[in-house]
A and B are shown apart, each in its own frame.
Chain A
Amino acid sequence: MRRRTTRLGALTVVSGLLLAACGGDDAATGDGGSGDTQEITMWMYPVIFDEADHSAFWDEQVAAFEADNPDIAVKVEIYPWANRDEALGTALAGGTAPDVVYLIPDQIPQYAHTLAPVDEYLDDTALAAYRPNAVESVSMDGQLLGAPILMSINPLVCNKAAFDDVGADYPESWDDLLALAPSFKDAGYDVTNYWGSVDATLNTSFYPLLWQAGGDVFTDDGSAVAFNSPAGVAALSLLVELADGGYVERDLLTTIPAFEQTNTAKGQIGCTWQQVPADLEPFWGEENIVVLPPLRQRESIAYGTVGALSIMADPGDAAADAAGRWVSYVSSEAVTSEYVVASGYFSPYALDDSLYADDTRYAEMETHLDAATAGTPHEHARQVMGLLAPEIQAALTGQKTPEAALADAENAAANLFD
Chain B
Amino acid sequence: MTPSDEPSRARTAQRVLARREARIGLLFVLPAFIVFLAFRFGPAIASMALAFTDYTIGATPNWLGLENFRRMLDDPVFWSALKVTVMFTVMTVPVSLAMSVGMALLVRRAFRGVGLFRSIFFLPVVTSLVLAATVFTWIFSSNGPWSSLMGRLGLPEETWLGNPNLVLPALVVVAVWSRFGYGMLILLARLQDVPRELEEAALTDGANAWQRFRYIVFPQLRPALFFLAVIETTASFQVFDLVYVMTGGGPARASYTLVYELYEQGFRYFNLGYASAIGVALFVMTLVVALIQRWVIGRDR
- Residues of A whose CB lies within 8 Å of any CB of B are 4, 7-8, 11-12, 15, 18-19, 22, 85-86, 89, 92-93, 97, 110-111, 113-114, 196-200, 250-251, 253-258, 261, 382-383, 386-387, 389-391, 393-394, 397, 399, 412, 415
Contact = CB atoms under 8 A, between A and B. Distances in A.
B268 to A, nearest CB: 6
Contacts of A198: 248-251, 253, 256
Contact of B31 (A11, A200, A251, A255): A11
Interface string B225-245: 000000000000000000010
Contacts of A92: 57-58
Nearest to B246: A255
Contacts of A113: 58-59
Nearest to B158: A250
Contacts of B142: 250-251
A31 B245 CA distance: 41
Given A4-B23, A19-B34, A383 B162 contact: no
Contacts of B31: 11, 15
Contacts of A387: 77
A11 B138 contact: no
Contacts of A8: 27
Interface string B131-154: 000100110011000000000000
A412 B75 CA distance: 9
Given A15-B30, A397-B251, 20 more contacts: A18-B34, A22-B38, A93-B58, A110-B57, A196-B250, A197-B250, A199-B244, A250-B162, A251-B142, A253-B251, A255-B137, A255-B162, A255-B248, A387-B77, A390-B250, A393-B250, A393-B251, A394-B252, A412-B77, A415-B75
A257 B141 CA distance: 8
Contacts of B267: 85-86, 89
Interface of B: 23, 27, 30-31, 34, 38, 57-59, 74-77, 134, 137-138, 141-142, 158-159, 161-164, 167, 244, 246-253, 256, 264, 267-270
Shortest beta-carbon contacts, A-B, top 5: A199-B248, A114-B58, A394-B252, A254-B162, A254-B251
27 contacts: A85-B267, A86-B267, A89-B57, A89-B270, A110-B57, A110-B270, A111-B57, A113-B58, A197-B248, A198-B251, A200-B248, A251-B141, A255-B137, A255-B247, A255-B250, A257-B137, A257-B138, A257-B141, A258-B137, A382-B268, A386-B268, A386-B269, A390-B250, A390-B256, A399-B252, A412-B77, A415-B74
Nearest to B24: A4
Contact of B138 (A7, A111, A261): A261
A383 B249 contact: no
Contacts of A199: 244, 248-249
A247 to B, nearest CB: 15
Contacts of B251: 198, 253-254, 390, 393-394, 397
A376 to B, nearest CB: 18
A11 B57 CA distance: 36
Contacts of A97: 58
A130 to B, nearest CB: 27
A382 B159 contact: no
B247 to A, nearest CB: 6
B58 A255 contact: no
A7 to B, nearest CB: 7
B94 to A, nearest CB: 27
A110 B58 CA distance: 10
B250 A258 contact: no
B269 A111 contact: no
B246 to A, nearest CB: 7
Contacts of B57: 89, 92-93, 110-111, 114
Given A253-B162, A257-B138, A258-B138, A386 B250 contact: no
Contacts of A261: 138, 141
Contacts of A93: 57-58
A11 B75 CA distance: 49
